A and B are shown apart, each in its own frame.
Chain A
Amino acid sequence: MSASAALLALALVAPRPVALWHSYRSEEAQALQSLADRFNASQDRYRLELLSIPFDAMSAKISAAIPRGHGPDLFVFAHERVGSWAPSGLLAPVAVDAARFLPGTAEAFRWEGRQLGAPLAFKTLALFFNRRLVASAPKTTDELLALGGRFADPAQGRFLLAYQSGDFYYHAAWLFGFGGSLFAPEEGGSGPRRDEAEGRAGSEGRLELDTPGAEASLAFVAKLQAEGFVPQEATSALVTELFSQGKAPFAINGPWFVGELPKDLDYGVAPLPVVSATGRPARPFLTVEGLYLSAHALEPEGAREALAFLVSDDSALLRAKVARQLVANRAAYDDPSVAKDPVLQAFRAAAALAIPMDASPRMQLVWEPGQSALRAALRGESPKVALAGADRQLRALQRPPPPRAAPWATLALVLCLAGAGLFFARRRPGTAEGGSRTAYAFVLPAALATVALVLLPILFSLGLAFFHHRADGGYDFVGLGNFADILASRGYAIIEPPSFYFTLAVTLLWTGANLVLHVGLGVALALLLHAPWLRLRGLFRVLLVVPWAVPNYLTALIWKGMFHRQYGAINGILRRLGFPAVSWFSHFATSFGADVATNVWLGFPFMMVVTLGALSTIPQELHDAATLDGATAWQRFRHVTWPLLRPALLPAVILGSVWTFNMFNIVWLVSGGEPGGTTDILISEAYRWAFARQAQYGYAAAYAAIIFVLLAAYSVGAQKLLARRESA
């Protein structure tokens, strides 16, 4: 009795949990944790519980969990998603005193008049300079370029300025500095708009890349690269390397750069220089990280309290001190210790010039065309042509929603098809010799699980293909509209990269090339590893599965690094052999080859292991017999081993080709579709539509459905082949 009473009392006084999800790492995570500890110590009604979630998974998890009531009460994310999440009703309004924060940071979370988040910190770009090489940062681009002769010597791996010149996020600073814009009326450049004369003036907030300012900015960076002032194909790793090794006196980077630089490096930070051609400062994007309150929070009161605590000036100060975070609170910068920090102060100054990133979903459409225009210009294409292409792509990506359709027509069609399917299935002569209860019992566990956990989700996704996902999160039934758009290649020429047919051709090539190499290499190695005379067989076997064992996220990026034009190991080997270095990602063939090489490396161990398993069925006598028949090693393989391997290998080959067809992350990580989206495969298109282009889930699902049908047709053929083998 008393025990339960005590328990009850405990339950009454036990603090109620408030869940907070974040993707912070190291110092930032530590700062957040110590704030949570403080909050929990400061009161006893709520207990703030932190959950760290990988950044990759965060956005999908939020979208899935919150509507189902499993979401957090609070979560940390950048402000750009407000425009996607708010219409879906995931966010609840919070009270924020905008005056306490740096200009633009609190406003970033306003959506349709409601404050849907509170700012924690911001990210933007600034100019880092190495004090050992230069005394101060140049104020203008002319000043900067004047130093070029002194520092740049690409042959020696020395540059003037290290930054990711091929990344549109970085380039946007120049774009705005040269008077370019993304949205036609608001950020209108100087000088008359060309397209106004053509009668297609931008309507309210229309996306437009092809502006004179953009053209000038592309010409500028193309020149930077042509003169050897900036490294080619710069990755963030390369930028870090060059700047910290003193091989580039300047770098453009964000606050995270500080954590990547050696502690003993003597460097300064300044806002980006003024573009001499226009007299305007280069203006980077401003992204604000903030706390969101879930609309389905279980503890909204506690969450509000915790939120207020976490964005308070005191908390901000702790975050600024412990994690050197660029906090959004004005007051933090007046604190003596923060005032002393030149990095924080420089970024604060940079933030004043920065342009808050548009939070509406349409912003997501900018990256792809922007990026491809930038890369094209860096490959030496004329900026004008590149931008015209980008605008064409932009318009295609802003696909108008297909007309709404009456569900009945489509439903009737689907029913007819299903009926026809059933009819033919019925009419086929029964292969079975009567049902066997045992057989069903054997198949049941696998079939049941697969139906529940694979088929249902598939049907769910396939269903989406008949809908259009509106920007406000709703769905319109559009019948076969999505399919029609894809198959009619609406918006693109058929032979252009993003068109379905072009991508399909690339995908087939990709699948075929990988398959041949996987099987060839896998079987060859398995045969060697199977040979009785091989020494250290066990060791080799284990070492050869290493590529399969190491997480491929990391190894794919290492391969990308190995294909780097200047620093990659592959070009290093080529150079040593006397060949010229290859710019791998500038041409379709080489870029595609890099993807294939990476995927073959990742995939051959699987085929090898499967072959090793299959080889164990082949009796030695057969080899002996063939040897006596005078067969050479090749003939023995061709006429004895291979035919016997085939049945056991065929399933792996069929499934392997299906997986390769859908193997999107390698293409994504290695070539990223370069050049100009040509190396993208169908599944990357689907992925882009779903996750990078305004969340067109319906369209993406239609892509997936088409992929499904294509592969199903393929497998029917493959199965016929198998069945023929079986009966033979």
Chain B
Amino acid sequence: MSRPSAVRHALGHAAVVAATGAALYPVLWVIKMALSPGQAFDPSPSPWPRVVSLQNFRDLWGLGGTGHLWRELGNSLIVAVATALVGLLSSATAAFAFSRLRFRGRQASLAFFLATQMFPGIMMAIPLYILLDDLRLLDSLTGLVLVYSTTSVPFCVWSLKGYLDTLPRELDEAARIDGATSWQIFWKVILPLARPALAVTALFAFLSAWNEYILAATFLGDARKYTLPVALQSYVGEYHTEWGHFAAGAIVVSIPVMLVFFALQKHLVAGLTAGGVKG
């Protein structure tokens, strides 16, 4: 290792540390509010709590007599994982077709997927409500999963297609000559190689379901079906917000995301396709 690269590595580490600091700095207030007793939104410039108390977390866990955290956490997990799976599966096949197969209407359907993202989402709550009602899926986690996964499908399709386009085409041609059907090529050759993109897409789909509350609160009419963000948003009142509980809940909400990302990030490895083709 030569001198200049040592300096560069030191600078690189410094930059990452600085960025991480900047990324975490605002979150310190979340932690502070969660750990401070009381429900104030502390506007003081210091990010450190004056008094540390776990009361907010205790309340959250239902020890204070209000919450059903486990149930809500469970619902959220079911919804988010199912959304990621459904979104991923349906969009992976579509992305494969867009990337590898030529068919009439290909460009148009790609554009269509993109176009659906252009309509402001807040205008869609009421029509979606009517639709889910007609499908008899109001009040059900299935309905939520359906809505979340379809709203995340366009991104998933586009992002996966973008990645698949970079995979060498000879691989599926080789498989075709080997006698693989399109499905076998998709399942046995392309999908294993798309792991990094699948990880990114899964995280995206998971998160889009995990943090959403407006639609969930609008569609669910049964408290036993509530997801965590709905419960969390209930701490925000018209005049008064229980910031302590909200912040504690925000931390509880964030931890699974980080765990999921931690689990997924090992798929973000380089050189997955190395050695496959020349050049």
- Please tell me which one of the listed residues A60, A554, A650, A651 contacts residue B218 in the complex, with CB atoms under 8 A apart: A60
Given A555-B30, A558-B29, A435-B131 contact (CB < 8 Å): no
Give the number of chain A interface residues (Cβ < 8 Å): 143
Closest Cβ of chain A: how far from B155's Cβ, in Å?
Answer: 5
Residues of A within 8 A of B52 (CB): none
- Chain A residues whose CB sits within 8 angstroms of the CB of B124 once the complex forms: 454, 457-458, 461
Residue-wise, chain A 648-677 has the 8 Å CB interface mask toward B (1 for contact) of: 111110110011001010000000000000
Whether A98 is near chain B, meaning CB under 8 Å from some CB there, is no
The closest CB in chain A to the CB of B118 belongs to A711
Interface membership of chain B positions 75-104, coded 1 if the CB is closer than 8 angstroms to chain A and 0 otherwise: 000000000000001110110111001111
A544 contacts B253, CB within 8 Å? no
- Cβ of B142 within 8 Å of any chain A Cβ, yes or no, is no
> Interface segment, A84-92, A200-208, A564-572, A586-594?
A564-572
A707 touches B41 (CB 8 A): no
Over the window 518-545 of chain A, the binary record of Cβ atoms lying under 8 Å from chain B Cβ atoms (1 yes, 0 no) is 0001001100111101110010111111
Flag whether A14 is at the interface (Cβ < 8 A).
Answer: no
Nearest Cβ on chain B to A526's Cβ, whole angstroms = 9
Q: How far is the CB of B263 from chain A (nearest CB, A)?
A: 10
The residue from A430, A440, A549, A620 contacting B258, defined by CB atoms under 8 A apart: A549
> Is B140 located at the chain interface by the 8 A CB criterion?
no
B55 CB-CB contact with A under 8 Å = no
Q: Do the beta carbons of A452 and B131 come within 8 Å of each other?
A: yes
Which of the segments A46-54, A104-112, A173-181, A487-495 contacts the partner chain?
A: A46-54
Interchain CB contact under 8 A, A544 and B232: no
- Contact partner of B238 (CB less than 8 A), chosen from A23, A70, A723, is A23
Give the nearest-CB partner of B99 in chain A: A726
A398: interface (CB < 8 Å)? no
**Interface residue count on the B side (C-beta < 8 Å):** 135
Contact across chains for A546 and B27 when beta carbons are under 8 A apart: yes
Is A238 positioned at the interface, with any CB of B under 8 Å from its CB? yes
Residues on the B chain within 8 Å of A553, using CB: 233, 236
| 0/1 interface trace, chain A 421-455, chain B, CB 8 Å (1 if under) | 00001000011111110111011011101101111
A240 contacts partner chain B, Cβ-Cβ < 8 Å: yes
Residues of A within 8 A of B250 (CB): 550-551, 554
Cα of A601 to Cα of B29 in the assembled complex, Å: 15
**Given known A-B contacts A613-B197, A616-B269, A655-B117, A60 and B126 have beta carbons under 8 A apart:** yes
CB within 8 Å of A: which B130-153 residues: 130-131, 133, 138-139, 146-147, 149-151, 153
**Is A618's beta carbon under 8 Å from chain B?**
yes
Closest residue on chain B to residue A619 by CB atoms: B274
What's the Cα separation between A402 and B10 when bound, in Å? 65
- Mark contacts of A446-472 with chain B using CB atoms, 8 A cut-off: 1 yes-contact digit, 0 otherwise: 110110111111101110000000000
| Chain B neighbourhood of A610, CB < 8 A | 159, 200
- Chain B residues with Cβ under 8 A from A561's Cβ? 29, 41, 43
Chain A residues with Cβ below 8 Å from B119 are 458, 461-462, 704, 707-708
CB–CB A256/B30 < 8 A: no
Tell which of A61, A601, A683, A711 touches B26, judged by Cβ atoms closer than 8 Å.
A601
B166–A450 CB distance below 8 A: no
Docked-complex contact A554 and B121, CB < 8 angstroms: no
B203:A434 contact, CB within 8 angstroms: no
Distance of A596 Cα from B138 Cα, bound (Å): 37
* Residues in B whose Cβ lies below 8 Å from that of A68: 129-130, 133
B8 neighbours in A (Cβ, 8 Å): 633
Interface stretch (choices A290-298, A342-350, A712-720): A712-720
- Does A185 have its Cβ within 8 Å of any Cβ on chain B? no
* B261 and A617 contacting across the interface, CB-CB below 8 Å: no
Q: Is B69 an interface residue (CB 8 A)?
A: no
Encoded as 1 (CB less than 8 Å from any A CB) or 0, chain B from 104 to 118 comes to 111111111111111
Q: Is the CB of A613 within 8 A of B221?
A: no
A535 to B125, CA, bound (A): 45
Residue among A26, A528, A555, A618 having the largest count of chain B Cβ atoms under 10 Å: A26
A382-433 interface with B by 8 A CB criterion = 425, 430-433
User: Are A700 and B154 in contact, with the CB atoms below 8 A?
Assistant: no
A442:B94 contact, CB within 8 angstroms: yes
Evaluate contact between B246 and A554: CB separation under 8 angstroms. Answer: yes
Which chain A residue lies CB-closest to B163?
Answer: A648
Residues from chain A with a CB closer than 8 A to the CB of B163 are 613-614, 617, 648
- Report the Cα distance A344→B272, complex, angstroms: 69
Bound together, the chains give a CA A458 to CA B242 distance in angstroms of: 35
Evaluate contact between B271 and A260: CB separation under 8 angstroms.
no
Instruction: Give the residue name and chain of the A residue nearest to B115 (CB).
Output: A712
- A256, A521, A648, A716: the one contacting B240 at CB < 8 Å is A256
With an 8 A cutoff between CB atoms, is B234 at the interface?
yes
Given contacts A435-B104, A443-B97, contact A454 B254 (CB under 8 A): no
Q: Which residues of A contact B54 (CB under 8 A)?
A: none
A37 to nearest B CB, angstroms? 14
A363 is an interface residue with CB less than 8 A from chain B: no
The 7 closest A-B pairs by CB, nearest first: A57-B217, A457-B127, A432-B104, A237-B41, A442-B97, A651-B158, A711-B118
Known: A442-B94, A453-B128, A647-B165. 17 other contacts (CB 8 A): A431-B106, A439-B103, A443-B93, A457-B128, A534-B12, A535-B13, A544-B20, A547-B23, A554-B247, A559-B26, A562-B26, A567-B45, A609-B204, A616-B196, A619-B274, A648-B163, A652-B159
27 A–B contacts from the bound complex (CB under 8 Å): A23-B237, A25-B242, A54-B233, A57-B213, A57-B230, A445-B93, A449-B153, A453-B146, A457-B131, A531-B12, A538-B262, A542-B258, A546-B27, A547-B26, A550-B251, A552-B211, A609-B268, A613-B199, A616-B270, A617-B167, A620-B271, A644-B166, A651-B155, A651-B158, A658-B117, A715-B115, A719-B107
Q: Which residues of A contact B (CB under 8 A)?
A: 19, 23-26, 29, 51-57, 60-61, 63-65, 68, 70, 78, 123, 235-238, 240-241, 244, 254, 256, 259-260, 262, 425, 430-436, 438-440, 442-443, 445-447, 449-450, 452-458, 460-462, 521, 524-525, 528-531, 533-535, 538, 540-555, 557-559, 561-562, 564, 567-569, 572, 601, 605-606, 609-610, 612-620, 633, 644, 647-652, 654-655, 658-659, 662, 664, 683, 686-687, 690, 700-701, 704, 707-708, 711-712, 715-716, 719, 723, 726
